[in-house]
Structure 1
Amino acid sequence: MKMGICDTTFARFNMAGAAMDQIKSQVANIKFVERTVPGVKDLPVASKKLIEEEGCELVMAFGMPGPEDIDKVCAHEASTGLIQAQLMTNTHIIEVFVHEDEGIDDKDLKVLAENRAREHADNVVKMLFKPKKMKREAGTGMREGRENKGAL
């Protein structure tokens, strides 16, 4: 299986590395095809190219938008582009964004980024290889990077 991994130079933590490490610890025989782009707005086309040109069956797209209003607009546009690329290719692109202002401080931001990357990687493993386990988690208030909310 080929999995696309797309990250940015703008990010302040290597979320892609954490995710690949997490996946490798659970699944053998996955080939990662990696691409790095400058920022989040570059992720949609890079992800689409990983699917169409490299034959990736799923892509994880990692980004760390900044704290300014313009960064939030760019993140929204990137997210919209990733959704459009998914619909155009009929392939999942798992968006893993951590906004810089989500962290209390740099230490908390680093912990959040690593946890979110690893937990999204766990979700990818479940989606691809353990769909019954993912189905059992429906409606349980799972969160990536922070504490789960729990079911109502």
Structure 2
Amino acid sequence: MKVGICDTTFARVDMGAHAIDEIKQHVGNITFIRRTVPGIKDLPVASKKLIEEENCEIVMALGMPGPQEKDKVCAHEASTGLIQAQLMTNTHILEVFVHEDEGENPKDLRQLAENRAREHAQNLVKMMFKPDAMRKEAGMGMREGRPDVGPV
């Protein structure tokens, strides 16, 4: 199985490395194809290329938009592009974004980014290898990177 990992140089944490490490802890015999691009708006085409040119069966797109309004707009545009790429390829691209203003301080931001990357990597494993485990979590208020909020 080939898994695509696409991340950015703009991010302040190497989330791709954390995602790969987490997947390796749960599944063997995975080939990772990793591409790093400059910024978040470059993720959609890089992810699409991983699917179409590298034959990845699923992709994680990891990025860290800045705190400014223009960064939030760029993140929205990237998210829209990732959705389009999924629809065009009929392949899941797990969007893993951590906005810089989500962290209370640099240490918290780093921990959030690592946790979110790892928890989304666990989601990838469940989606591809343990769909019943993912189904059991439906409606449970799961959150990636922060504590779960639980069902209502």
Considering the TM-score relative to the shorter chain, is it more than 0.5? yes
Q: Distance in 1 between matches of 2:36 and 2:119?
A: 21
Report the equivalent of 2:123. Answer: 123
Q: Distance in 2 between matches of 1:70 and 1:53?
A: 31
For the residue of structure 2 that corresponds to 1:65, the secondary structure is coil
Q: Which amino acid aligns with 1:26?
A: H
For the residue of structure 2 that corresponds to 1:45, the secondary structure is helix
For the residue of structure 1 that corresponds to 2:51, the secondary structure is helix
Q: Distance in 2 between matches of 1:104 and 1:20?
A: 26
Report the equivalent of 2:25. Answer: 25
- What RMSD in Å do the two structures reach over aligned CA positions? 0.3
Q: Please, what TM-score do these two structures have when normalized by structure 1?
A: 1.00
Q: Which amino acid aligns with 1:112?
A: L
Q: Please state how far the C-alpha of 1:68 moved relative to its aligned partner.
A: 0.2
Report the equivalent of 1:88. Answer: 88
Q: Please, what TM-score do these two structures have when normalized by structure 2?
A: 1.00
Aligned residue runs from structure 1 range 2-151, under 5 A: 2-151=2-151
Q: Distance in 1 between matches of 2:3 and 2:18?
A: 15
Q: Please state how far the C-alpha of 1:8 moved relative to its aligned partner.
A: 0.2
Q: Distance in 2 between matches of 1:19 and 1:148?
A: 19
Q: Distance in 1 between matches of 2:99 and 2:119?
A: 16
Aligned length: 152
Q: Please state how far the C-alpha of 1:114 moved relative to its aligned partner.
A: 0.3
Q: Distance in 2 between matches of 1:70 and 1:98?
A: 15
Q: Distance in 2 between matches of 1:123 and 1:143?
A: 11
Q: Which amino acid aligns with 2:20?
A: M
For the residue of structure 2 that corresponds to 1:25, the secondary structure is helix
Q: Distance in 2 between matches of 1:46 and 1:128?
A: 21
Q: Distance in 1 between matches of 2:126 and 2:54?
A: 23
Q: Which amino acid aligns with 1:48?
A: K
For the residue of structure 1 that corresponds to 2:124, the secondary structure is helix
Q: Please state how far the C-alpha of 1:110 moved relative to its aligned partner.
A: 0.3
Q: Percent identity?
A: 74
Query: Runs of 4+ in structure 1 displaced over 4 angstroms?
Result: none
Partner deviation per Cα, 1:21-74 (whole Å, 9 max, x = no partner): 000001000000010000000000000000000000000000000000000000
For the residue of structure 1 that corresponds to 2:26, the secondary structure is coil
In structure 1, list runs of 5 or more residues that go unmatched: none
Q: Distance in 2 between matches of 1:66 and 1:144?
A: 19
For the residue of structure 2 that corresponds to 1:21, the secondary structure is helix
Q: Distance in 2 between matches of 1:9 and 1:15?
A: 11
